Structure 1
Amino acid sequence: MSLDSPRTASRPERLTVHEARLRLEHERAARLTQLRALDEAGPDAEEQVMSAQKDTIGRVLKEIDAAFDRVTDGSYGVCRGCERPIPVERLEILPYTRFCVPCQRHA
C-alpha cells in the first residue's frame, strides 16, 4: 500500500505469493545477517548470550523455511489453529507466522 493511497482504500485479505516471498526473503536475510554479526563478535562476547541468540535465530530461520513451503503448497496465510485467513496486517509484521493472534495465544 503506498503512502499516496487514500485511507479508505481496502486492504487485500491475503498477500500475493510474490509479496509473501519478498517478505520471507527479507526476514531470512535479516536473520542470516544477525548470525554473521554474532560469529564476527568473536570469543570476547559472552558465550551464553551468543548461544541463546543463535538458537533463537536458528529457530526463526526454520519457521521462515516452513513458511516458504506453505507458500509453495498454497497454505500460506491460513491459520493452523482455526483454518481461517491470517489478517494481512499480521503477515506484514510477522510473515512467517502460522497462527492468527487468537490462536497464537492458545498455542
Structure 2
Amino acid sequence: MPLDASPADPRPGRLTAHEARQRLEHARSSRMAQLQALHESGQSTDANLRSVQTEAIQRVLKEIDEAFTRIADGSYGTCLGCRKPVPAERLEILPYTRYCVACQGRTTA
C-alpha cells in the first residue's frame, strides 16, 4: 500500500505520509512505555526474561525507525518481498511491517 503523497482527498485503502507517521509515532511511544515499565520492574522480574523482552522491544523500535526511512524514500507500504502493496488492514495493525502476510510467512518459515 504505497502512500498517497497528497494530503487532500486520499484514495480509499491508502495512507497519507502524515497518517503513516502518526501510526509509527504511536507505535514508538507504546514501545518506549513498555521499555520504561520493564526497566522500572527491576528486581521483581526475572533477569533473563527482562533481557529477552528488552531485546524484542528494541528490535521493534529499530523496525519502526526503518519504517520512517521507508516513508522518506517513498517505499513505505510496499512489500519488500513481492513489491506489491501491503494491505491497509495489515499496516493498521503493524505500521512498521516490511512484508505482506504471504511474504512474511516465507521469511519466518
2:45 corresponds in structure 1 to 45
1:89 corresponds in structure 2 to 89
How far 1:20 sits from its partner (Å)?
A: 0.4
Whether 2:30 is the aligned partner of 1:30: answer yes
Moved over 6 A (4+): none
2:74 corresponds in structure 1 to 74
Number of aligned residues: 97
Are 1:79 and 1:99, in contact at CA under 8 Å, matched by a contact in 2? yes
One-letter code of the match for 2:81? G
Which moved further from structure 2: 37-46 or 82-91? 37-46
In structure 1, distance between residues paired with 2:12 and 2:58: 31
Extract unaligned runs of 5+ from structure 2: 1-10
How far 1:65 sits from its partner (Å)?
A: 0.2
Extract unaligned runs of 5+ from structure 1: 1-10
One-letter code of the match for 1:83? R
Are 1:78 and 1:86, in contact at CA under 8 Å, matched by a contact in 2? yes
Are 1:14 and 1:85, in contact at CA under 8 Å, matched by a contact in 2? no
Bigger Cα Rg: 1
In structure 1, distance between residues paired with 2:53 and 2:39: 11
Q: TM-score, normalised by structure 2?
A: 0.86
What RMSD over aligned residues (CA atoms) do the two structures have, in Å? 1.0
How far 1:44 sits from its partner (Å)?
A: 2.8
2:101 corresponds in structure 1 to 101
How far 1:14 sits from its partner (Å)?
A: 2.1
One-letter code of the match for 1:89? E
How far 1:13 sits from its partner (Å)?
A: 3.0
Whether 2:68 is the aligned partner of 1:64: answer no
1:7 corresponds in structure 2 to none
Looking at secondary structure, tell me which structure has more helix per residue.
2
In structure 1, distance between residues paired with 2:103 and 2:73: 22
Q: Percent identity?
A: 60
